[in-house]
Chain A
Amino acid sequence: MADDVVLSLEQLVKTFRVGFQRKMVEAVRGLSFTVRRGEVFGFLGPNGAGKTTSIKMCMDLIRPTSGRVRVFGLSPDDLDARRKIGYLPEHPYFYDSLRPDELLDFFGKLYGVPKAVRRRRVDDLINMVGLGHARDRTLRKYSKGMVQRFGIAQALISDPELVVLDEPLTGLDPIGRKEVKDIIEKLNREGKTLFFSSHILSDVELLCDRIAMINKGRLLYEGETQELLKRGKRIVEIVALGVSSEVVVRLRADGLEVEEIGERVRIHCAEASSNDVVRGLVTAGAILETVGAHSETLEEIFVRAAQRGEAI
């Protein structure tokens, strides 16, 4: 089992001093989880949850205040560990006066990839991320989405065992997101381990075998994505017309989530109480437009857990 662990965070703490008074801010608070070989692991949390700080500690860009990170059983500053990792930073920036093939060749040299292999891999990667048509342009002339795609290519130049992607889907249009998701799935099929952070939970739900959820630097959940989804409640959504304001007030007082959209009212309630809610609405003279049930999505589970601030 220990051989299966490619990345482990053990009681990781990171404290920064900020502002004029050098006030202490705890960005990561005792974070522990493991990423196993061959899985797609999602690292989730809202903006400012501590995801990027944690990833930077995994990549030795910043050092933990306490706790430790192990990459393939080694310290993250060990070159043998780094040779096995490909990393895409959040909002990636690269030397923009170089062409993608030049920059990939340079990164390949840092990994010690032999020249012949490098040349072939540069071509393959440029085509894989769909930049073949723009390979003669310098990165200065690339759009944000193109830079993001180049970022994925540079993370793969060493054919790494572990690919760490910090917010790879952020800032991309729907087509770009689909392409990146396809690349993640393809890499996983090739046997690579993928560890990526995101706050777009609908994408994570589809892609990840396991996830770690954090909020305010603390771990809320680590485990199988499907297992967490099973724990989600069944939610009934009722859309009705002609609901009086008194009824809306009463429903809210009962603790239901009620949203007024023009002349319509959308109500979310638990499956167990849905019959009573429907009956009450009909009795009050409301016209039911739709009534449907669905399981809580990852996003809904996360929002509920984050609001309570408790582990799931």
Chain B
Amino acid sequence: MTQMLQRVFAVAGSTFWESVRNRAFIGMLLGALVLIAGSMLLSQMVVFDQRQRVVLDFGLFFISFTGVIIAIIVGVLLLYKDLAQKTIYALLTKPVRRFEFVLGRFLGLLAILLFMFIIMTGAWLLVLKSEGVILRGIHFQALFLVFIQLCIVASVAILFSSFSSPVLSGIFTFGIYAVGRQVDFINDLMTATKGPFASFPWLKPIGSGIVNIFPDLTLFDITRQILLDVELPWTFIASTSIYGLSYIIVFIMAAMAIFNRREFV
């Protein structure tokens, strides 16, 4: 078990160092920082009592959205690059199991996301401080949930990249993210007395399929609660985290199973 973990962490470590030296990654990180700083500029354009709201809302959105973009881009390219550049031959012929390799790659991706997340969060907190926002527990709860959401998106990217091209993987992953962000809305539509589901009842199985299968990513966005000054119980954070973790485990195990069957011609 210890040896297995050593191998997994060795793969994760190399994934991290390989990526953070990549110019594209540095470019994406700088872009994210510019966007967060941009939320400060946006706040200057609104009346004073709305400025704090703008830096809170936009800052969190930029952290989440650029995080998702980085998770998708890096995630779909990780396994693909190993196959396209044939680095996989030297790796999988070492005493490392294929599932350990996929897990290592995923953990490496999480380390990359955590690294950029900490930098972006640091920048955001500085912006909040400069705007005189008093930090409360819910701000950190929101950040924590955003990170869990990034982990889910990363696991989806890894799953698709285990069998598909980067472009298709990117489209599929973004599709799941986009639908996941609308699960709440679809649920509301399904229970409404008017709307597409009421007009076309045959759509309901599709709707309930989406609601039941896709991860409900709206759970991980608590911006509204921050703005309304609502405190969330930690039990909600814990149950939402377990919900997210379950999806991550399923996606990564599926990626491992697919990768294990692949042939590297």
Q: Are B10 and A94 neighbours in the complex by a CB distance under 8 Å? A: no
B264 interface neighbour in A56, A94, A98, Cβ under 8 Å: A56
| Bound Cα distance A129, B17 (Å) | 25
Q: Which residues of A in the span 104-122 have a Cβ within 8 Å of any Cβ on B?
A: 106-107, 109-112
Taking residues whose C-beta sits less than 8 angstroms from the other chain, chain A's interface range is: 20 to 34
Kindly list chain B residues whose C-beta atoms are within 8 Å of the C-beta of A83: 95
A87-B90 contact, Cβ under 8 Å, with A97-B18, A111-B95: yes
Bits for A197-218, please: 1 = Cβ < 8 Å to B, else 0: 0000000000000000000000
Q: Are A91 and B86 neighbours in the complex by a CB distance under 8 Å? A: yes
B94 within 8 A of A: yes
- CB-based nearest A residue for B10: A109
A89-B3 contact, Cβ under 8 Å, with A61-B264, A110-B96: no
Kindly list chain B residues whose C-beta atoms are within 8 Å of the C-beta of A92: 86, 89-90
B246 within 8 A of A: no
A85 within 8 A of B: yes
Among A63, A85, A92, A106, max chain B CB count under 10 A is at A106
Kindly list chain A residues whose C-beta atoms are within 8 Å of the C-beta of B45: none
Kindly list chain A residues whose C-beta atoms are within 8 Å of the C-beta of B228: none
Kindly list chain A residues whose C-beta atoms are within 8 Å of the C-beta of B10: 106, 109-110
B265 within 8 A of A: yes
Kindly list chain A residues whose C-beta atoms are within 8 Å of the C-beta of B87: 93-95
Q: Are B17 and A98 neighbours in the complex by a CB distance under 8 Å? A: yes
Kindly list chain A residues whose C-beta atoms are within 8 Å of the C-beta of B130: none
B92 interface neighbour in A61, A63, A151, Cβ under 8 Å: A61
A284 within 8 A of B: no
- CB-based nearest B residue for A57: B263
A59 within 8 A of B: yes
Q: Are A109 and B265 neighbours in the complex by a CB distance under 8 Å? A: no
Q: Are A93 and B86 neighbours in the complex by a CB distance under 8 Å? A: yes
Kindly list chain B residues whose C-beta atoms are within 8 Å of the C-beta of A106: 10, 13-14
| Bound Cα distance A97, B15 (Å) | 11
B18 interface neighbour in A53, A61, A98, Cβ under 8 Å: A98
Q: Are A60 and B265 neighbours in the complex by a CB distance under 8 Å? A: no
| Bound Cα distance A112, B87 (Å) | 20
| Bound Cα distance A111, B13 (Å) | 15
| Bound Cα distance A174, B218 (Å) | 63
Distance in angstroms from A169 CB to nearest chain B CB is: 18
A310 within 8 A of B: no
| Bound Cα distance A188, B107 (Å) | 40
A102-B17 contact, Cβ under 8 Å, with A82-B95, A91-B86: yes
| Bound Cα distance A154, B94 (Å) | 10
Q: Which residues of B in the span 157-210 have a Cβ within 8 Å of any Cβ on A?
A: none
A89 interface neighbour in B6, B13, B17, B89, Cβ under 8 Å: B89
Q: Which residues of A in the span 48-80 have a Cβ within 8 Å of any Cβ on B?
A: 53, 56, 59-63, 79
- CB-based nearest B residue for A138: B21
B7 within 8 A of A: yes
- CB-based nearest A residue for B19: A97
- CB-based nearest A residue for B87: A93
Q: Are A110 and B7 neighbours in the complex by a CB distance under 8 Å? A: yes
B95 interface neighbour in A53, A89, A95, A110, Cβ under 8 Å: A110
Q: Are A97 and B21 neighbours in the complex by a CB distance under 8 Å? A: yes
Q: Are A85 and B93 neighbours in the complex by a CB distance under 8 Å? A: yes
Kindly list chain B residues whose C-beta atoms are within 8 Å of the C-beta of A110: 7, 10-11, 91, 94-96
Kindly list chain B residues whose C-beta atoms are within 8 Å of the C-beta of A53: 265
Kindly list chain B residues whose C-beta atoms are within 8 Å of the C-beta of A95: 14, 18, 87
Bits for B32-73, please: 1 = Cβ < 8 Å to A, else 0: 000000000000000000000000000000000000000000
B97 within 8 A of A: yes
Distance in angstroms from A211 CB to nearest chain B CB is: 23
- CB-based nearest A residue for B260: A77
Q: Are B95 and A93 neighbours in the complex by a CB distance under 8 Å? A: no
A107-B89 contact, Cβ under 8 Å, with A62-B263, A62-B264, A102-B17: no
B85 within 8 A of A: yes
| Bound Cα distance A98, B96 (Å) | 20
Kindly list chain A residues whose C-beta atoms are within 8 Å of the C-beta of B265: 16, 53, 56, 62
| Bound Cα distance A106, B10 (Å) | 6
Kindly list chain B residues whose C-beta atoms are within 8 Å of the C-beta of A85: 93
| Bound Cα distance A151, B91 (Å) | 12
Q: Are A63 and B263 neighbours in the complex by a CB distance under 8 Å? A: yes
A112 interface neighbour in B3, B13, B90, Cβ under 8 Å: B3
Q: List 24 A-B contacts (CB under 8 A).
A: A53-B265, A60-B92, A60-B93, A61-B88, A61-B89, A61-B92, A61-B263, A82-B94, A83-B95, A87-B90, A89-B86, A89-B89, A93-B90, A94-B90, A97-B18, A98-B14, A102-B17, A107-B90, A110-B91, A110-B95, A111-B94, A112-B7, A112-B95, A151-B90
| Closest A-B pairs by Cβ, 9 of them | A109-B10, A89-B89, A82-B95, A110-B94, A61-B264, A62-B263, A79-B95, A93-B86, A87-B93
Binding site for B on A (CB under 8 A): 16, 53, 56, 59-63, 79, 82-83, 85, 87, 89, 91-95, 97-98, 102, 106-107, 109-112, 151, 154
Binding site for A on B (CB under 8 A): 3, 6-7, 10-11, 13-14, 17-18, 21-22, 85-97, 263-265
